[in-house]
Amino acid sequence: MSTQLKTDSLRSILSGVKRPSRYIGGEWGSSPARQDRKDILQVCYAFPDLYEVGMSYLGFQILYSLTKSLDYADAERVYAPWSDMEESLRKTGTPLWSLESKRPLMEFDVIGFTLQYELSYTNVLTILDLSGIPLRSSQRNDSHPIILAGGPCALSPEPMAPFIDAFCIGDGEVILPEVYQVLHDLKGRSRSEKLSALSKIEGVYVPEIKSKQPVRKRIIENLDDAFYPTEMIVPNTGIIHDRIAIQVFRGCTRGCRFCQAGMIDRPVRERSANSVVNQVERLLKTTGWEEVGLLSLATCDWTNFDEALKKLAPLLEKNQTKLSLPSLRTDADSVNIAAKLQSIRKGGLTFAPEAGTQRLRDVINKGVTDK
């Protein structure tokens, strides 16, 4: 039975914290929880950082929409609270709730964390603690949600292994539908049965089940065939990157020695120009955002950039929309790209020299000179 938090309780808590819009949901593009479907798997995606940070992360938007599109699962969201909200929740004994249905996280079948950076690990534990869920996997029983984790840091899972039930290694668009289908089919069964079944899925690592076989990373081979949302959640408040985000390719060919993403996102996979233009056109219609960001590790390396720019220019001009390129190398290719953008409203160009001296750039294999 749902213990949806009462409006009076929410008002009392939210009236005493900064930026209560972080915790209320109801944004344009978000979908109501399907509470009428008791047979579906109830998933809550948890981003272990502030709302402003989590809402800027494209992967969260993709997985939310993907799960909503499944007939056997539903998705809601939660973000790490700011210190004033955490204090209020602890003081009143109120459990952390989801944005869509205002239900305590303890009531969900699955809580899925994204591990984007190591400094967020303590926030994972804070979210579990505020939800009344035991921190360690070994302390949980059949009444608790299954705790999943994915993202780049999941490729080095052992630091968080005592706290996570199962890690999804690789591209979530491929793994999660299989994971949710298995957990849906096992609703009402024991926790041990669920974890045993998850361990048999390629790309899933269950720490408590020892195996001599390596866990293979799952990848999407063709980005044009990958799921991409036709709508996105538009925040009610300012966020870090307040714009349409389109990932133009995954991976990188450069081989900089310090770069985690350039290694774990291999092989390089590109989106076609037509795919990107179609996504931009759809999202401009459904979101109302006034800026588009083309995302990748180094957008200047996207081989379809010139073709896409020619097709995007009239579309952006018609909608009076800015174009942002948030990751550019400091080389001649980026200078040429900047020149090609002169006729387009620019939201921002971000150049990444990475090091202040030529010696250090050589050490990290950056391949960029002062000239």
Answer whether residue 347 shows pLDDT above 70.
no
Least confident of 101-115, 249-263, 284-298: 249-263
Averaged pLDDT of the chain: 90
Between 246 and 297, whose confidence is greater? 246
The CATH number that domain 7-205 falls under is: 3.40.50.2300
Is there a contact between 50 and 80 (Cβ–Cβ < 8 Å)? Answer: yes
Is there a contact between 171 and 220 (Cβ–Cβ < 8 Å)? Answer: yes
**Residue 247 is encoded by which pair of tokens?**
């990932």
Between 302 and 122, whose confidence is greater? 122
Least confident of 1-15, 55-69, 262-276, 292-306: 1-15
Answer whether residue 11 shows pLDDT above 60.
yes
Answer whether residue 330 shows pLDDT above 80.
no
**Residue 132 is encoded by which pair of tokens?**
């009344």
pLDDT in tens, 190-201: 999 999 999 999
Q: Which pLDDT score is estimated for 1?
A: 37
Helix (H, G, I), strand (E, B) or coil at 30: coil
Half-sphere exposure of 177 (CA within 13 A, CB side): 13
Percent of the residues in the chain that have a pLDDT greater than 70, as a whole number = 91
Domain ranges of the chain: 7-205, 243-363
Read off the pLDDT of each residue in 321-341 and give the average, rounded to a whole number: 71
Helix (H, G, I), strand (E, B) or coil at 324: strand
What Rg value do the Cα atoms of the chain yield, rounded?
22
> What is the residue whose two structure tokens read 């700011």?
82
- Alpha helices, DSSP H only, in 288-353? 305-318, 332-340
Q: Which pLDDT score is estimated for 256?
A: 80
Answer whether residue 332 shows pLDDT above 70.
no
The CATH architecture that domain 243-363 belongs to is: 2-Layer Sandwich (3.30)
Q: Among 97, 42, 98, which Cα is nearest to 70's?
A: 42
The Cα 154–Cα 156 span in angstroms is: 5
Read off the pLDDT of each residue in 236-261 and give the average, rounded to a whole number: 88
Q: Which pLDDT score is estimated for 337?
A: 66
pLDDT in tens, 88-124: 999 999 999 999 999 999 999 999 999 999 999 999 9
Q: Which pLDDT score is estimated for 10?
A: 86
Least confident of 69-73, 112-116, 304-308: 304-308
pLDDT in tens, 181-192: 999 999 999 999
pLDDT in tens, 139-176: 999 999 999 999 999 999 999 999 999 999 999 999 99
Q: Which pLDDT score is estimated for 114?
A: 98
**Residue 190 is encoded by which pair of tokens?**
């024991």
Read off the pLDDT of each residue in 331-352 and give the average, rounded to a whole number: 64
Helix (H, G, I), strand (E, B) or coil at 308: helix
Q: Determine the Cα angle at 358 with ends 354 and 361, to 5°.
A: 40
Answer whether residue 260 shows pLDDT above 90.
no
The Cα 83–Cα 92 span in angstroms is: 14
Least confident of 18-27, 48-57, 298-307: 298-307
Read off the pLDDT of each residue in 309-313 and give the average, rounded to a whole number: 91
Least confident of 102-116, 258-272, 353-367: 353-367
